[in-house]
Structure 1
Amino acid sequence: MLELAKGCTYNLTRNDYQGNGLPVITEHITLKGEHTTISREATADYFRILNVGAGGHLTIEGLTIKGGQTLDRYDSVEPAAVWAAYSDSEALAAQVKAGTPLAQALTAQQANPKAGLKAAPKVTPKASAGVVTPLVEYPEDTDGAGILVQPGGTAEILESEVVLNQSGNNGGGVANFGTTKIWHSTVTRNTAFFFGGGVFNAGLLKVEESKITDNTAVIGGGGISNGAAEIFADDVDGGTVELKKAEITDNETLGFGGGYLDIEGNTTAYETKFVSNTAVLAGGGLAAADSQLNLHQALIEKNSTAGVGGGVAIAFDSAVTFEKSSIKDNTAGFFGGGLYNRGSVTTLRDSEVVGNRALGPIGVGGGIFNTFGEVNLSKTKVAHNFSTFEPGGVFSFFGQVNVDDKSAITANRPTNCLAIPGGTIENCFA
């Protein structure tokens, strides 16, 4: 264990040839401080602060990791082009804004609902008979400006703060490709040029009783991104994430998944809050594509998007379950103030979708907007939602909304439900 001086700031001015402020950690090391800061000197060359290599086990306690910076890419990319690989919501909205009736624009997709969409490529590693070989993702040189955890590495961030770091690729504060635990800590005011303003994950990540707040990512996952879409390099499959009593608040992105984004990963959340996050394109609170999410006692509140899914945007063969959760007071500019479900299966049990709004000039489905997918409501209330055009409650096109007799769709404006031919909504009165 290395005990650092209380209340002291260690300014790093030099880096190794790999762009790390401190040597790569390849054994068990604990850095313990009390109101102690390790930071990159503002005028120094760009480098990250900490790098945990294979076999390394880093524990930090009582520290602030601050000011790491890795080089930005010179190439730019439009977030809408990336989101278009998973959902055609932008193209659909553009047609409706240009004057095409929504029903007509949707009908044009009917013959091939995945036209124009591409699945992120799957890679299956070769394995010997009887041996399971996991797919391991590897970081780019500029991932993780504050802390990078490589495959085979482990990090524990305890009662610490990761602040004001900037990645030229993914993971402004933390990029995890190994195993990382964040406990009683804060990840705040970090930035990523692509995915994961606060945290990027492609390994095993656990965030418990911690705050991920006020981070920014250009493409997706302002707070946390579990995985990354293909841009200049191959996509990065999301790993496994467990959130427990976490607070993901006030994060933002120009793309999708203001608070949280999952791409080809697996996420479980318990008693976690997704509040006041913003995404320009989709999923103000959270977004998922080709993923599995299970949320228990989650709060998705006061998030916003100029596009679709003010609270939640689910797309491209995802399977998502909300249990004893609340999607409330979220706002979308186009479709699905509370929930946008496209080509996926979303289930809500003992939950509520209330007070959400689709407020734009083509706003439809204040509570739920479902196309080519399935939404299941069990003991769930959809109420007091609003949209510019009907329905204010639940909209379905070439999809199915199953409503059990213990659920209620009521008091939405201007109407409760609308199912365009090819779509169904059970147990609902307009």
Structure 2
Amino acid sequence: MPALRALAGAAAIATATTAFTAVPAAAHTPEHVRCKTSALIAAITRANTQGFGKLSLAKGCVYDFTAPFSGDDATPPITVPVTIDGNGATLRRGTTAHLFRLLDVATGGRATLSDLKIENGNVTGDGGGLLVQNGGTLHATSVLVKGNTASNNGGGLESLGTLRLVRSRVANNNAAGSGGGISSEGATSVISTSIEGNTASRFFGGGVFNDGLITITRSSITGNRVTAGDGGGLWNNYQMTVNDSTIVDNTASDHGGGVTNAQLGRATFNRSTIAKNTAGLLAGGIYNVDSGSYLVLNLSSVIKNKAGSAPGGVFNETGDVVVNKHSPITGNLPTNCVGSPSPVTGCTG
């Protein structure tokens, strides 16, 4: 959290509030990388040495890593602007006892990925498949992050820097801590992306854990779960905006089957749907909790969610604020909002 507060005033947060500035493509012919893990390691090493890189992976290749290059990383941490055109290739941790992630964007690194799969990473720490360090930047388009595991946060990926994820899929990843799919403590934009079937084993955010600034647009958060904690789909502790998106069929063992907005959280939902989520205790839909949390529902619906105890729709703790702008809260069980310590404007039953 201290790193987040420092980052919030830095350029990375400012970047996320404006259009993402893409890394200019280096004016050189792409280097074609043979279908060998050693060839990819060598290509990234050369890029770091020369100060830039533009790599084209072997079409459909599975780069099967059986040991880390160093530390927790299968490949050298990216420290410069590097573009990787995956051509449908897969970076995969193969059958091995070694634990490591597949890609690491270090401080000062600016990675642009496309048409690439990141699979089966397993790390002791954060970021099972991908890690973006504080001061690093990742722009990923048409990327699949699948089946990765972290012993702490960010089963699929952990970002402490700047992340932009477009037309991608984050699926079936696992974190022993928070953020089964994505853990964001920096500045993150998620656009036209599916976050599905991820699990956080304890604490928060089966699909997404946010302790930074995140914007989610035209995306779906479905079938995620927390097995011992809150926020089956989304857990927000700082600033989150969700536009034109669906949060459906997520599960939390405790509170906030769809969404938990906690502590310093300021969450805004525009034209979005929170539906058919389940919580074992309170608030199948949205759990707005801890003094100072602020939630805005704008043309968004909270419908057909279910909780073990009332309310099933929206829970609003004493001292917190819910602003409802033409947003129906209906069809939730056992109640929509009755049982909430503070009233929820525009909600009855």
TM, length-normalised to structure 1: 0.66
Aligned-CA RMSD value: 1.2
**Aligned twin of 1:252:** 225
**Aligned twin of 1:67:** 120
Give the strand-richer structure, 1 or 2: 2
Displacement of 1:367 in angstroms is 3.7
Larger radius of gyration: 1
Select 1:376's aligned residue among 321, 345, 348. 345
Select 1:183's aligned residue among 137, 151, 166. 166
Give the alignment of 1:202-241 within 5 angstroms: 202-219=185-202, 220-226=204-210, 238-241=211-214
Whether the aligned pair in 2 keeps the contact of 1:224 and 1:260 (CA below 8 Å) is: yes
Counterpart code for 1:356: N
1:298 aligns with 2:272: yes
1:326 aligns with 2:301: yes
Displacement of 1:221 in angstroms is 0.2
Select 1:243's aligned residue among 189, 192, 216. 216
**Aligned twin of 1:24:** 77
Give the alignment of 1:305-344 within 5 angstroms: 305-317=279-291, 318-343=293-318, 344=320
**SS at structure 1 position matched to 2:135:** coil
Counterpart code for 2:344: V
Give the alignment of 1:277-426 within 5 angstroms: 277-290=250-263, 291-317=265-291, 318-343=293-318, 344-358=320-334, 365-371=335-341, 373-377=342-346, 382=348, 393=349
Q: Deviations over 1:4-41 (max 9, x none)?
A: 11111000112133210000110011111222100011
**SS at structure 2 position matched to 1:222:** coil
Aligned length: 291
**Aligned twin of 1:89:** none
Runs of at least 5 residues in structure 1 that lack an aligned partner in the other structure: 72-141, 227-237, 359-364, 383-392, 394-430
**Aligned twin of 1:413:** none
**SS at structure 2 position matched to 1:169:** coil
**SS at structure 2 position matched to 1:155:** strand
Q: Deviations over 1:370-429 (max 9, x none)?
A: 21x35333xxx64xxxxxxxxxx1xxxxxxxxxxxxxxxxxxxxxxxxxxxxxxxxxxxx
Give the alignment of 1:128-167 within 5 angstroms: 142-167=125-150
Structure 2 distance, partners of 1:50, 1:34, is 17
**SS at structure 2 position matched to 1:143:** coil
**Runs of 4+ in structure 1 displaced over 3 angstroms?**
365-369
Q: Deviations over 1:39-68 (max 9, x none)?
A: 011224000111111100111100000011
Structure 1 distance, partners of 2:94, 2:192, is 30
Select 1:193's aligned residue among 176, 186, 191. 176
**SS at structure 2 position matched to 1:30:** strand
Whether the aligned pair in 2 keeps the contact of 1:193 and 1:218 (CA below 8 Å) is: yes
TM, length-normalised to structure 2: 0.81
1:270 aligns with 2:243: yes
- Could you say if the C-alpha distance between residues 327 and 17 of structure 1 is closer, same or farther in structure 2, counting changes exceeding 3 Å? same
Whether the aligned pair in 2 keeps the contact of 1:339 and 1:369 (CA below 8 Å) is: no
